[in-house]
Structure 1
Amino acid sequence: MIPTTSRSLGDSHRSIALPPAGGIFRRFLAFAGPGYLVAVGYMDPGNWATDIAGGSAFGYTLLSVVLLSNLMAMVLQALSARLGVAAGLDLAQACRAHYSKPVTVMLWLLCEIAIIACDLAEVLGTAIALKLLFGLPLVWGVIVTAVDVFLILALQRYGFRKLEAFIIALLVIIAGCFVFELILARPDMAAVAGGLVPTPEILTNPAMLYIAIGILGATVMPHNLYLHSSIVQTRAFAQDSAGKREAAKMATIDGTIALGLAFFINAAILILAAATFHTAGRTDVAEIDEAYRLLAPSLGLGAASVVFAVALLASGQNSTVTGTLAGQIVMEGFLNIRLPVWARRLVTRALAIVPAVLVVGASGDAGATQLLVLSQVILSLQLPFAVVPLVAFTGRRDIMGEFASPIWLRLLAWGIAGIIIGLNGTLLYGML
């Protein structure tokens, strides 16, 4: 088992005090925050590439994939928070405690691949935003992203609550930007509602399936399951049954509300692409910078493109923060190796920057967008290796005690895991 002295995110573990008394709303505000850090991963620049490609090529059809992915994410993130609260372990620590060393190392390597893929999306998204806003060449923008580790160090120095506030502020900026864009785009609301209903064409059209699984990979992100199970433990809730029950309930509500915001932003990107490009016959728009150039003339307002780029930059910086935390949690949990945050961040970012520079240098902007979509498919292929342990652990009474998932929740969670594995198998079969 994991020693009791080994705490997830040791510097922040149980560092946020809760009010001893007060109304339900005041208690909820004290618990609120971790869900928004998790939600950031569901709206990172990788989502932009898949959502723009899906909206321009297929209109509103893939909105149903965005919706179903978010619903699955809500269930899985609730389980992740439940594990952290009830067992006092993050998912990586639980794997190290209950699996053999070879299995643990394999899961760690797979998770590291997923984190690098996610970091790749953050690097490219931030670099593209810098190019759109300031004209910085894409290769130089990629290199500039190596220094954002200092932003993370500065934020963490002021405490975990300040970090959460920074994340939420950027989320408000992103949401406000897309409200503005949608008002200009004036989408067909009847078509939007129709797009929320799944269609068999998604499974029979290979091009549509590829983008759909990319959306799934960009939405249900494997490292977020590790992240959530750790950061819920930053709250100093009572360790008795009543305290854990309240913490699990509040974490579930917090995560569900935050993922509702993530659904709005993801859906807004796809709706914007469908309303602006697909309806005008521009079904070939698949690159973020191309979408930026076309938004202003299509919507009739020059500010539309600038607002789009500002939201992209905020998205990239937000994802940088949570990616750093997830990398720290995974390495410490699986291997019990504690590196300085700056060292961990630079290693991860270097592994993402090298392929980004090579691809951008060789094939330019088009290669960057293709790499963004591919990174999300890689994330999707890693999902089962995080989802299966999570569902298994949260259903075990010897780990969770009275908080073990009831039968209905286990069946639902295993059903979600089966859908994810089945979709990935379909993708691999099609590629072969």
Structure 2
Amino acid sequence: MQPASAQPSSLQPCAQLGGASPDLCFVYELIKSKPDMGKVMVGYLPTLRTVTDPAMLYIATGILGATVMPHNLYLHSSVIQTRAYPRTAPGRRMAIQLGALDSTLSLILAFMVNSAILILAASAFHYGNPPRDDVADIGDAYALLATSLGAKAASILFGVALLAAGQNSTITGTLSGQIVMEGFLSIRVRPWLRRMITRGTAIIPAAIVAAVMGREGVAELLVLSQVILSLTLPFAVFPLVHFTSSSRYLGKHANKVWVSVVAWVLFAVITLLNINLVVQSIYTGSFGGM
């Protein structure tokens, strides 16, 4: 599935820097906000209300989509083909192990960034001094962070972190589209044209929503985009687990039984969450309160 004109590995340092920058910024802000780690740990525990409350389910699904973006699964699978490893059985085994480690670390990094945003919002606003429940979107958060944390740099670093994360998503999204089109569909498009199409497809709807609905519409569109990523996630996970668990395709490099079992269970959980969201949305007549 490796596209001839793409060199994802050459951009990997940029992507790694873009992924590390938000973490560094949020580390500073988390230190300033002094979150209650006991409440943070409790917050990681799932509750029944998460799947029964339509609003909470909508947000939880969006967080899932923002953390495990389906297109990045294709990107990480493709990057391994650009590695300089011996084309022997031991070399392939080493490449697979390093590829698995690379994907795992990337998902952990994404998890840390999304966790940091939630923890920062809770500690700086909802449990701040004084507590604030009027923070409706990113714009409010940016404006109030300096006041809540007592440091002007907090708002600036928050903006830098979001900019770095956005640039990283832009790079990986464009590369993933190229990998899928060239690898699966054998469609080759000039890089500059692909970038124009990919970014135009993302920017034009966002600009229209911003012009028509204002900042509130952009905030809703941002969450909706993450929910859509979650809804498409099973379509990327199913073939990934199927092929990597099959000795017919991977031979001795196929997943171990316990890995396959865990992967299929996670696939089932993700799929059921998405189905639950769709069913509740149909039943209530609204999608995430919209």
Task: Give TM-score, length-normalised by structure 1.
Answer: 0.62
Pick from 392, 403, 412: which aligns with 2:242?
A: 392
5 Å matches for 1:296-375? 296-375=146-225
* Deviation (angstroms), 1:383: 1.0
The residue number in structure 2 matching 1:418 is 268
* Deviation (angstroms), 1:12: 5.5
2:274 maps to a residue whose letter is: N
For residues 254 and 381 of structure 1, what CA distance do their matches in structure 2 show? 24
Structure 1 unpaired stretches of 5+: 1-6, 14-33, 35-159
Contact kept, 8 Å, 1:12 with 1:234, in 2: the verdict is no
* Deviation (angstroms), 1:263: 2.2
Q: Which has the higher contact order (CA 8 A, sep 6+)?
A: 1
How big is each residue's C-alpha offset from its partner over 1:47-81, in whole Å with a ceiling of 9 and x where there is no partner? xxxxxxxxxxxxxxxxxxxxxxxxxxxxxxxxxxx
For residues 221 and 277 of structure 2, what CA distance do their matches in structure 1 show? 17
1:181 maps to 2:29: yes
5 Å matches for 1:281-292? 281-292=131-142
2:2 maps to a residue whose letter is: S
The residue number in structure 2 matching 1:69 is none
* Deviation (angstroms), 1:393: 1.2
Provide the identity percentage: 52
The residue number in structure 2 matching 1:9 is 3
2:30 maps to a residue whose letter is: L
For residues 288 and 345 of structure 1, what CA distance do their matches in structure 2 show? 27
1:206 maps to 2:54: yes
Partner of 1:330: helix, strand, or coil? helix
* Deviation (angstroms), 1:341: 1.1
5 Å matches for 1:220-235? 220-235=68-83
* Deviation (angstroms), 1:204: 2.1
* Deviation (angstroms), 1:219: 1.2
5 Å matches for 1:159-308? 160-161=9-10, 163-280=11-128, 281-308=131-158
| Pair 1:393–1:284, CA change in 2 (3 A) | farther
For residues 18 and 198 of structure 2, what CA distance do their matches in structure 1 show? 23
For residues 258 and 384 of structure 1, what CA distance do their matches in structure 2 show? 19
1:402 maps to 2:255: no
1:221 maps to a residue whose letter is: M
Query: Which shifted more, 420-429 or 278-287?
Result: 278-287
How many matched pairs? 280
For residues 326 and 260 of structure 1, what CA distance do their matches in structure 2 show? 19
Q: Over the residues paired in the alignment, what is the CA RMSD in angstroms? A: 1.7
For residues 135 and 72 of structure 2, what CA distance do their matches in structure 1 show? 29
Contact kept, 8 Å, 2:6 with 2:175, in 1: the verdict is no
* Deviation (angstroms), 1:269: 0.8
2:219 maps to a residue whose letter is: T
Partner of 1:237: helix, strand, or coil? coil
| Pair 1:204–1:412, CA change in 2 (3 A) | same
2:116 maps to a residue whose letter is: A
* Deviation (angstroms), 1:264: 2.0
Query: Which shifted more, 366-375 or 252-261?
Result: 252-261
* Deviation (angstroms), 1:315: 1.1
* Deviation (angstroms), 1:11: 4.1
2:233 maps to a residue whose letter is: L
| Pair 1:307–1:274, CA change in 2 (3 A) | same
Task: Give TM-score, length-normalised by structure 2.
Answer: 0.91
2:168 maps to a residue whose letter is: N
Structure 2 unpaired stretches of 5+: 283-290
